[in-house]
């Protein structure tokens, strides 16, 4: 009886360690999703840029599970360059302002938030069946994040018109697609093409942001 007490304590400690490890491994997924939802809902350029950067950075731990470090760094580093291009563009047109977290949600933002939450809940409900039927070799967490980014990007494309947010929506969509493809098969050619597409999107988006700002000022 006396010897069973340390054994029970050891088992409890081991179980707690396993649970903590699982939480830490899933944390980048939920942070990336929260950043994507933030870009879907809120309309503050400074906040959206930070959320976009966080979204790209959180992809690194996910990619490290299936790719070596040199290859896993490509997508986050591309995201860093894209964010820098957009930041410099917004800085040039005076779009960088102090973040106001106390601003109340508008009806449109509330609708987009509820629609995004419903979309993620629906995806989580049918994820297991979809994984078994279409992507049996991809882990559930990886598949969930990939499809969630794709769907959030598509939803954002359908709910906004401003060039800056259209670029963010396309970048979110491509992030999910690239993440999913990396789990299936890695291609140097496709990876290079996706990097080029991301950078071109940022450059084209920067052009339209400047053009839109000039048209509003005249």
Q: Do 86 and 206 contact (CB within 8 A), yes or no? A: yes
Q: Is residue 19 in a domain?
A: no
What CA–CA distance (Å, rounded) separates 86 from 203? 8
The model's pLDDT over 37-88, given as tens digits with 9 standing for 90+, comes to 999 998 888 899 999 999 999 999 999 998 999 999 999 999 999 999 999 9
For the whole model, what pTM was predicted?
A: 0.86
Tally the domains of the chain: 1
Residue 20 covered by a domain: no
Residue 14 lies inside a defined structural domain of this protein: no
pLDDT confidence band for 1 (50 / 70 / 90): very low
Domain assignment of residue 3, yes or no: no
Q: Is residue 144 part of a domain?
A: yes
> Could you tell me if 211 and 162 are in contact, meaning their C-beta atoms sit under 8 angstroms apart?
no
Q: What is the pLDDT of residue 75?
A: 92
Residue 114 lies in a domain: yes
- Cα(61)–Cα(73) distance, rounded to whole angstroms? 10
174 occurs within a structural domain: yes
In a domain, 23, yes or no: no
**Helices 163-184 + 74-92 axis angle, to 10:** 180
Distance, first Cα to last Cα, the chain: 84
What's the domain range around 93? 28-217
């Amino acid at each position: 009886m006396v010897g069973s007490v340390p054994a029970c304590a050891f088992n409890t400690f081991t179980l707690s360690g396993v649970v903590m490890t699982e939480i830490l491994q899933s944390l980048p997924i939920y942070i990336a999703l929260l950043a994507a939802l933030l870009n879907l809902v809120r309309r503050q350029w400074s906040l959206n840029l930070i959320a976009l950067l966080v979204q790209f950075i959180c992809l690194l731990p996910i990619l490290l599970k299936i790719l070596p470090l040199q290859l896993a760094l490509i997508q986050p580093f591309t995201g860093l360059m894209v964010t820098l291009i957009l930041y410099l563009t917004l800085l040039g047109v005076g779009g960088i302002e102090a973040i106001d977290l106390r601003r109340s949600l508008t009806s449109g933002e509330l609708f987009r938030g509820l629609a995004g939450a419903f979309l993620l809940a629906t995806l989580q409900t049918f994820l297991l069946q979809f994984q078994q039927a279409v992507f049996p070799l991809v882990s559930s967490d990886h598949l969930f994040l990939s499809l969630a980014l794709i769907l959030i990007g598509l939803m954002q494309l359908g709910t906004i018109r401003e060039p800056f947010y259209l670029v963010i929506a396309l970048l979110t969509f491509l992030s999910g697609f690239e993440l999913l493809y990396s789990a299936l098969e890695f291609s140097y050619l496709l990876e290079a093409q996706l990097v080029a597409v991301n950078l071109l999107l940022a450059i084209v988006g920067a052009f339209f942001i400047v053009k839109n700002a000039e048209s509003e000022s005249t």
